Amino acid sequence: MAVALSFPAALFTFALLVVIGYWLLVLVGGTEPDAVETDSATQGLDALGLGGVPVTVAVTGLVGLSWFAALAGTVAVAGLSGLAGFLARCGVLAGAVITAVAGTRLVVIPLRRVFRDGPAPSHQDFIGRMCRVRTGRVDEEFGQAELTAADGSSAVIQVRQSTLHAATAPLAQGDSAVVYDYDAAAGTFWVAAWEGN
């Protein structure tokens, strides 16, 4: 307990108590998780590379990691006293902040997908994308292809090729095709052979 209340860990101990109190208040319904969203806070986190998630999530990560790093550093330099001890503790403070920013950035990167704003993905997003035929043939009744979405995920989609396109460039397994339309009623994508085949 004494370590948590000594410099520099004490700075983060009090901040951690505020963060814990805030999340307890959210838990009992006393406030909303995004109640502290402000433009200045968002811009500050963006400057640190921590944008794309709610301010409260990023600040919780910063405070928690800073506290833990400062606590560990304070224990490590506890035997030093005088000017050397003070300078070592100032180094611990700087190291805790740097560690917290780097660690929080690692956590924030995958969380950005969870908190991404914007329209939900739709089948229309596949139009204009390349796909690779996975079935032996593609015609107006049958066909499947593998398509890679903008986010890097892949999907096997039902594809169809009109007789007009099939007469000039029939598609077979392994061919590349471009998606040019989506038939919502049938749940299929219309494709044409890519000229690079």
- Residues 189, 182 contacting (CB under 8 angstroms): yes
- What ranges do the domains of the chain cover? 9-114, 123-193
Give the C-alpha distances (Å, rounded to integers) separating 125 from 59, 120, 122.
Answer: 34, 10, 6
Query: 45: closest CA among 57, 30, 32, 31?
Result: 57
In CATH, the number for domain 123-193 is 2.40.50.140
One-letter amino acid at 114 equals V
d(CA 67, CA 64): 5
Q: Residues near 112 by Cβ (< 8 Å), separated by ≥ 6?
A: 52, 53
Helix (H), strand (E) at residue 193: strand 188-193
Which pLDDT tens digits describe the chain residue by residue (197 residues)?
777 788 888 888 999 999 999 889 888 877 776 666 666 667 778 778 888 888 888 889 999 999 999 999 988 888 888 899 899 999 999 999 999 999 999 988 888 887 776 565 678 888 999 999 999 999 999 999 999 877 777 889 999 998 876 667 789 999 999 999 999 999 999 999 987 65
Distance from C-alpha of 76 to C-alpha of 91, rounded to nearest angstrom = 12
For residues 87 and 71, what is the distance between their CA atoms, to the nearest angstrom? 16
CB 35 within 8 A of CB 116: no
Return the SS3 of 51: coil
Q: How far apart are CA 143 and CA 76, in angstroms?
A: 64
